[in-house]
Amino acid sequence: MSPFVPQRLASMRPRQIAAITLHQGNRTLPAGELFDVTGSPGGRIVIQSDSELLDNIGMGMADGELMVEGQAGGYLGRGMSGGFLQVAGATGIFAGSAMSGGRILIEGNAGDLLGGAAAGERQGMRGGFLHVRGSAGDRAGDRQRRGIIVVEGNAGDYAASRMVAGTLIILGQAGHQCGLDMRRGSLILNSKPKSLPATFNVSGGHQLTFLTLLNQYLESHSAPWAFPGNSRIRRWVGDLACDGRGEILIQA
């Protein structure tokens, strides 16, 4: 689905769009055989589909708006650098992977490796704002380098695994071994996770001024706070197995 991004379709007519070839399994076929294409040239695309097989929606998107009225497959918004991408339903693996800017809003659940690094990549998400109203799978924020991820629901195991920097906020219940191999960055949790690696040390209770700024930023992106900025939080530092300059902030 990677051809369907506003910067490529902005000046195309429906008939030209219908001729774009897509891969389905080991076949290639024109988009017109899979979709009815209507509308006029512009910077806004709506994809109406309830298939979970549509991979690479919004891949490399640089501007404009893309709405998915239904579900999306894997690699949603991969490499996205700008614009706004919204999915009404759930998405597959690697949503927001290698994203460097722009904003993604997923109303449903997200699969594993939300904002994560694909095989061989040394960085996952590198910027922008990734907001999941539902829950996320395992290894959300894997190798995240910059940018903010908010998961309103629960998250699977190994959240913020191998995180390089950036911020991952989980409002629901986080799974086991949060922050495994985290180097830097912040994992912010509303409640205690199921478990932390043994290589995290507690650094006590704190009030951190920066949380107020973070809350303001979240508010301006219509996302909820984890907790008020002046809350007392418990701070864990780690992963001491690698660098150890990351932090996990849990509301005390």
Classified as helix, coil or strand, 29 is: strand
Length of the chain: 252
Kindly report the number of other CB atoms within 10 A of residue 18's CB atom. 17
- Nearest CA to 224 out of 120, 92, 133 is that of 133
Q: Rounded CA gap, 214 and 220, in Å?
A: 10
Least Cβ distance, residue 26 to another protein (angstroms): 6
Least Cβ distance, residue 37 to another protein (angstroms): 25
Based on CB atoms, which residue is closest to another protein, 173 or 201?
A: 201
Based on CB atoms, which residue is closest to another protein, 86 or 212?
A: 212
User: Using the rule CB under 8 A, is 210 a contact of another protein?
Assistant: yes
Based on CB atoms, which residue is closest to another protein, 67 or 118?
A: 118
- Nearest CA to 174 out of 229, 121, 236 is that of 236
Q: Provide the token pair at 35.
A: 């979709």
Based on CB atoms, which residue is closest to another protein, 12 or 237?
A: 237
Part in contact with another protein (CB under 8 A); list of ranges 54-62, 144-152, 155-163, 194-202: 144-152
Give 155's DSSP letter: B
User: Using the rule CB under 8 A, is 234 a contact of another protein?
Assistant: no
Binding mask 18-47 for another protein (x = CB under 8 A): --------x---------------------
φ/ψ of residue 231, rounded to 5: -65, 155
Say if residues 233 and 213 touch (Cβ distance below 8 Å): no
Give 229's DSSP letter: T
Among 58, 73, 83, 127, binds another protein (CB under 8 A): 127
User: Using the rule CB under 8 A, is 209 a contact of another protein?
Assistant: yes
Chain contacts with another protein (rule: CB under 8 A): 26, 118-122, 127, 146-148, 165, 167, 184, 186, 206-210, 212-214, 216-217, 220, 229, 245, 247
